[in-house]
Each structure stands twice: as structure tokens, then as C-alpha cells.
């Protein structure tokens, strides 16, 4: 279990009239996650209806409250009170486990060879390394349901593309730096594409909308083209970079 | 309010203009899913438009950016237009702004181009009606969420807009905004900024410059954010681990030119920030045209809070 930084005033930074950034850690670590699930729950209890949003991300939690009900000074006191005796959630069963069926193929993962060359290994090794690991969701952002996951095996780390694609197809499974992700909607993007998942990552009809939440565990499971198609995956090739 | 089913298509879009969006107060409680806030870029003028036609806080109205929109009414409607002066006319006669007026069946309401300010708000007594998505009708085109079609589409020629039936409309409240409530968008804006976030990491010179410069509003400005140009600001850290970013946050990318984050910003970001505009100053900035000049002024949270609470007290409601 990672050590909480010392309780100190610098842990809270103003993010405006209606919010505080609670900075618990300096570095990205999956052991941070049980602290944030505990802190989020305690904030929900303490703020009740005055809580507007909670945005956890890697090392921080943004707490957004209704300034008509709670002043910034009151909110700060409430958060300090929580931090004084905060304990992390038990780390054994935090976060749901998701298996994302993924078709790894150059037609939908045009950067498989780039990542392989960068790592000086074969494409099949890239797939093996990427799909063997269980990732944790550190943050959601960029687009609805877009989950930043990590940390990647250092052997397949690869910098993002110099020129982003104008449109990354929905379901694209990608990596950049030491993180991996799957695109919930067609958006611009500069990550290396390895394949495509048939999982519906963001669905406005589903309770909770996003398949993945901060703290969840994710594994990419290689499937054949047939299986990918049967699950509703779109096999239209990704346009190569210009 | 939302159970009310008596609505009918009663406004038709003759010409869409560059950007007209349906906006309620915004989408809340889903930011941890990467879903942005949306809502009116100028919450002050948006709220006044609702108020003048007797709609409650949170009622959806139209945010019209730049102008170019032409609408025809299918029945008599009570409306108010606030915010920017976009040269609005009703059958070619100038529309009086900041007051309740009657838009008669068959009349064409047309917005031309900015005279002062950038975004006008059109509220209709009884409220525009659309199906909420993730709890809100706020239209965010980038996320394909909200608006009349539920998919984040801006208004298009031929669209039919639904309005709740006349029986549901309230008529309490003022019909004219008092003179002192009407902002003057021709005056250069001074924006209140609450210092915070990574302000300690900026150099002294940069902080002096930040508060003693007339910043120029760049043409890279939209509902996600507004870039300001001026002296280069430097921060001892160039990027951070991404963290939640809030409305009005002023972030400084490595090029040293600040970006003020508005309603459709991404939910997390990794550039250092030196503070946040107060909600009312973020609204004021959203009315600035490219090329206009603004100044930043530090404000304490007590003063900003009392300004915001006085503004909200006008509308007599407790929450978003």
C-alpha cells in the first residue's frame, strides 16, 4: 500500500469558486486507487445534495460542490476533516473486472508494426504482451467513456503519433506512452492503434452509461475476425495515415 | 416539469446560421465518466432570458452565436432576447432586447451579426422541449449529446422546435431587465480571477504580466476554451499528470499563452493553471469577439462568492 502524503495545506488547491483539487499523491500508481474510492465515498456522504461532481484522476480528486449551499471555506474544512482519518478501501476487490474482446489485426490496428519495430519484437509478441496484462483504469476523460489505463509493460511503450488521425474509428484499441485505451466514439486521436474491440464502451441507454470506471480492471482478450464480427464489431479497415 | 407532454412544434428554422444550440443549465453528476458540463457559455444572460419570460432556473433556451439564425413562429409566443446585440429583428423591425415581447404567429425572427457581444439567448415562455440525455438537454456537439435531436446537433435549416404548451407557462417576475443589470459588451472586460492551482510554480515576472496586461482574445476561441495572446507566461513545470479541470480555469501550455476553459472543455487536463475566472467573469469572456482586449484582476473567494450568490438570489432557486 502506498503511503499517503503528509496532511498539509498544500494538499488542497483552489480550482475555482465551486471546487477544490485534492492532491493525494505525486506519482501514477495503481495503489492510489483504493484511496480515491474511499475519499469519493466519504465526500458523497459529507456533501450530500451539495455535491455536484467528483472527478478522480491518477493522483488527484476534483471535488465540485454547489456554492449556494457550501462556501469554498466550508468545503475545505469538510475535506480536511475527511482526510484526517481517511483509510484506503480494501484493495483486494476494488473495481469491476472487464474482458474486452479485441480483434488485433493490421487492417484495424495499423500501428501494430510501428509498435513492434519500436520495441524490436514481432507483431505477435506485441499482441501477446498487450493482451496478457490486467490494466487498471486511472482516469476517464478526453471523451465520454474514454478510459486511460495502465501501466503498460515497458517493452511495448511507444510515443504517440506525430500527426494525430482526424478520425479514429469507434472501438479502436490503442496505446501511447505507458497507457492504453479503447475509443468509445469516433474522435480525433494520436495514439498507436493495435486492433478493435466489439465492446460497447459508452451507451446512453445503459445504466451508468460508461462500461469502465476509475479503479476498474481491464483485460483485452484476442478474438478472431469472425468472433469480432459476431459480437457486432465493424471490420471496416482504418484509413492509413496520410 | 419534464412530465408535461403538451408540446407542439411551433418554431421553424428558416436559416440556421453558424451555431445555435439548445442549452439548459448543464450536465452534472457525470463528469467522472468523461462527460463535459455543457450549458450556457454566458450563464448570466441565459438566466435573465428565462427570468424575463417567467421560466424557472434551468429551463432550456437557445444560445445563438454570431447570428445568422432565422426562425418563424407557428403560433403567438412570449419571448425574451438577452445577451449580445446580434442585430435581431422581427419582420425587419429591431427587437427590443432584455425584455419580454410577443412574437406573433407567422413573424420571422432574424439574427444578423454582432453589434456588441457574441452570444444571444432566446427564451420562450413555457420552455423549449427536448428529451434529456444523461440528465440534461444541454447540446454538446463534440460529444454528440443533447439538443433537440438528443445527438448534439446544432440547429439546421428546416428543424422544427418544440415548445411546452401555453398552459404550463409562468408569468411571474419582471418583464424588463433594469438598466443596471444589462452588461455593456462594448466596454473592455475586466475579468475576476481566483488565484489557485499551480500559481506558486509560475515565475514572479509571469504573474506580474498576467495581471498587468491587456490580453487579446484570439480567434482560437470556442465553447471549449478561449485562448488569450500577450506576453509569454512561464511556469517551472510544463506538464502535470492530468487532473480534473473546472469552468473558468486558466491553463498555460508550453507556448506561454493562456487558455481559459469554458463549458465544453475536456474533463481532465495536464497543463499548469494559475487560477480560475469567477463564474460571472467566464460568462463575460464568452461574449468577447476575437481581437477584443481583456484584463485579469485577482479576486478573493469571499468577494466572488457574494457576487455569485447575489446573482443567483435574483432567480430565487437553490440548486443547479
Query: pLDDT digits over B108-136, tens only?
Result: 999 999 999 999 999 999 999 999 999 99
* Residue B164 pLDDT class (50, 70, 90 cuts): confident
Which DSSP state fits A152? Answer: P
Under a CB-based contact definition with an 8 Å cutoff, are residues B127 and B170 in contact?
no
Under a CB-based contact definition with an 8 Å cutoff, are residues A240 and A165 in contact?
no
What would the grid cell of residue A210 be? 460508461
Give the structural domain span for B55.
7-181
Tell me, what's the pLDDT at B166? 57
Read off the pLDDT of residues A42-100 as tens digits, 9 standing for 90 and up: 999 999 999 999 999 999 999 999 999 999 999 999 999 999 999 998 865 567 899 99
CATH 2.40.100.10 fits A97-230, yes or no: yes
Q: Which of B149, B181, B213 is the last residue of a domain?
A: B181
Q: Name the residue ranges covered by the structural domains of chain A.
A: 9-84, 97-230
Closest C-alpha to B242, from A73, A176, A78, A239: A176
User: Which residues, listed in sequence order, are joined to residue B217 by a DSSP beta bridge?
Assistant: B228
Chain B environment of A28 (Cβ under 8 Å): 241
- Say whether residue A74 is in contact with chain B using an 8 A CB cutoff: no
- Say whether residue B93 is in contact with chain A using an 8 A CB cutoff: no
Closest C-alpha to A98, from A217, A209, A208, A195: A217
What would the grid cell of residue A196 be? 478493435
Chain A environment of B309 (Cβ under 8 Å): 67-68
* B196 and B167 within one domain: no
- Provide the domain count of chain B: 2
* B226 and B94 within one domain: no
Read off the pLDDT of residues A188-223 as tens digits, 9 standing for 90 and up: 999 999 999 999 999 999 999 999 999 999 999 999
Higher pLDDT, B318 or A144: A144
* B26 and B59 within one domain: yes
Contact across the interface for B308 and A148, Cβ inside 8 Å: no
Closest C-alpha to B137, from B32, B66, B61: B61
CATH number for the domain spanning B283: value is: 2.40.100.10
For the domain made up of A9-84, the CATH class stated in words is: alpha beta
Q: Which helix (H) or strand (E) holds A123?
A: helix A123-132
Chain B environment of A17 (Cβ under 8 Å): 194, 276, 278-279, 301, 304-305, 308
* B237 and B217 within one domain: yes
Q: Domain for residue B112, yes or no?
A: yes
Restricting to B residues 43-82, those with a Cβ less than 8 Å away from any Cβ of A are none
Q: Quick one: B310 exposed, middle or buried, by C-beta within 10 A (0-12, 13-18, 19+)?
A: exposed
The residue among B26, B29, B32, B307 with the most chain A CBs within 10 A of its CB, best to mutate, is: B32
Q: Domain for residue B266, yes or no?
A: yes
CA atoms of B223 and B133, how far apart (whole Å): 19
* B281 and B146 within one domain: no
Kindly report the number of other CB atoms within 10 A of residue A134's CB atom: 13
The C-alpha angle with vertex B41 and arms to A209 and A187, in degrees rounded to 5, equals: 45
Q: Domain for residue B319, yes or no?
A: no
Restricting to A residues 21-60, those with a Cβ less than 8 Å away from any Cβ of B are 21, 23, 27-28, 49, 52-60
Alpha helices, DSSP H, located in B40-148: 43-52
Read off the pLDDT of residues B286-311 as tens digits, 9 standing for 90 and up: 999 999 999 999 999 999 999 999 99
Contact across the interface for B242 and A139, Cβ inside 8 Å: yes
Chain A environment of B269 (Cβ under 8 Å): 141
The residue among A13, A16, A77 with the most chain B CBs within 10 A of its CB, best to mutate, is: A16
Q: Domain for residue B1, yes or no?
A: no
Amino acid at each position: 500500500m502506498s503511503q499517503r502524503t503528509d496532511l498539509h495545506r498544500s494538499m488542497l488547491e483552489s480550482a475555482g469558486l465551486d471546487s477544490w483539487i485534492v492532491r493525494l499523491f505525486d506519482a501514477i500508481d495503481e495503489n492510489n486507487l483504493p484511496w480515491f474510492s474511499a475519499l469519493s465515498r466519504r465526500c458523497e456522504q459529507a456533501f450530500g445534495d451539495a455535491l455536484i461532481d467528483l472527478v478522480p484522476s491518477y493522483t488527484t480528486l476534483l471535488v465540485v460542490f454547489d456554492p449556494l449551499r457550501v462556501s469554498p471555506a466550508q468545503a475545505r474544512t469538510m475535506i480536511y476533516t475527511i482526510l484526517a482519518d481517511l483509510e484506503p478501501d480494501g484493495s483486494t476487490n476494488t473495481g469491476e473486472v472487464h474482458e474486452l474482446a479485441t480483434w488485433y489485426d493490421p487492417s484495424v490496428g495499423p500501428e501494430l508494426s510501428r509498435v513492434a519495430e519500436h520495441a524490436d519484437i514481432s507483431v505477435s509478441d506485441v499482441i501477446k504482451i498487450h493482451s496478457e496484462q490486467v490494466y487498471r483504469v486511472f482516469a476517464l476523460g478526453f471523451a465520454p467513456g474514454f478510459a486511460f489505463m495502465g501501466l503498460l509493460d515497458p517493452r511495448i511503450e511507444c510515443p504517440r503519433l506525430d500527426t494525430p488521425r482526424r478520425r479514429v474509428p469507434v472501438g479502436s484499441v490503442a496505446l501511447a506512452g505507458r497507457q492504453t485505451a479503447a475509443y468509445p466514439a469516433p474522435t480525433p486521436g494520436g495514439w498507436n492503434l493495435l486492433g478493435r474491440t466489439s465492446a460497447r464502451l459508452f451507451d446512453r441507454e445503459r445504466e451508468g452509461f460508461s462500461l469502465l470506471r476509475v479503479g476498474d480492471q481491464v483485460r483485452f482478450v484476442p478474438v478472431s475476425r469472425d468472433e469480432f464480427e459476431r459480437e457486432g464489431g465493424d471490420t471496416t479497415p482504418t484509413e492509413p495515415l496520410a | 416539469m419534464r412530465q408535461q407532454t403538451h408540446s407542439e412544434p411551433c418554431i421553424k428554422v428558416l436559416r440556421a446560421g453558424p451555431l445555435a444550440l439548445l442549452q439548459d443549465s448543464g450536465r452534472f453528476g457525470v463528469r467522472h465518466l468523461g462527460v463535459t458540463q455543457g450549458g450556457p457559455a454566458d450563464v448570466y444572460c441565459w438566466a435573465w432570458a428565462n427570468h424575463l419570460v417567467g421560466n424557472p432556473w434551468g429551463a432550456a433556451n437557445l444560445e445563438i452565436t454570431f447570428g445568422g439564425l432565422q426562425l418563424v413562429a407557428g403560433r403567438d409566443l412570449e419571448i425574451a432576447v438577452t445577451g449580445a446585440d446580434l442585430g435581431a429583428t422581427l419582420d425587419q423591425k429591431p427587437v427590443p432586447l432584455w425584455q419580454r415581447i410577443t412574437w406573433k404567429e407567422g413573424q420571422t425572427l432574424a439574427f444578423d451579426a454582432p453589434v456588441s457581444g457574441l452570444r444571444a439567448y432566446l427564451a420562450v415562455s413555457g420552455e423549449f422541449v427536448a428529451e434529456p440525455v444523461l440528465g440534461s438537454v444541454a447540446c454538446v456537439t463534440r460529444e454528440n449529446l443533447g439538443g433537440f435531436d438528443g445527438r448534439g446537433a446544432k440547429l439546421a435549416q428546416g428543424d422544427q422546435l418544440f415548445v411546452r404548451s401555453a398552459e404550463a407557462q409562468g408569468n411571474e417576475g419582471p418583464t424588463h431587465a433594469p438598466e443596471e443589470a444589462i452588461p455593456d459588451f462594448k466596454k473592455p472586460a475586466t475579468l475576476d480571477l481566483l488565484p489557485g492551482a499551480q500559481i506558486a510554480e509560475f515565475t514572479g515576472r509571469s504573474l506580474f504580466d498576467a495581471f498587468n496586461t491587456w490580453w487579446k482574445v484570439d480567434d482560437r476561441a470556442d465553447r471549449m476554451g478561449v485562448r488569450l495572446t500577450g506576453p509569454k507566461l512561464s511556469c517551472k513545470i510544463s506538464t502535470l499528470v492530468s487532473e480534473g479541470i473546472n469552468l473558468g480555469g486558466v491553463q498555460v501550455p508550453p507556448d506561454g499563452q493562456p487558455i481559459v476553459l469554458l463549458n465544453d472543455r475536456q474533463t481532465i487536463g495536464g497543463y499548469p493553471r494559475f487560477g480560475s475566472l469567477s463564474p460571472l467573469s467566464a460568462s463575460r469572456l464568452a461574449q468577447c469577439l476575437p481581437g477584443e482586449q481583456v484584463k485579469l484582476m485577482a479576486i478573493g473567494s469571499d468577494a466572488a462568492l457574494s457576487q455569485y450568490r447575489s446573482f443567483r438570489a435574483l432567480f430565487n432557486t437553490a440548486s443547479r
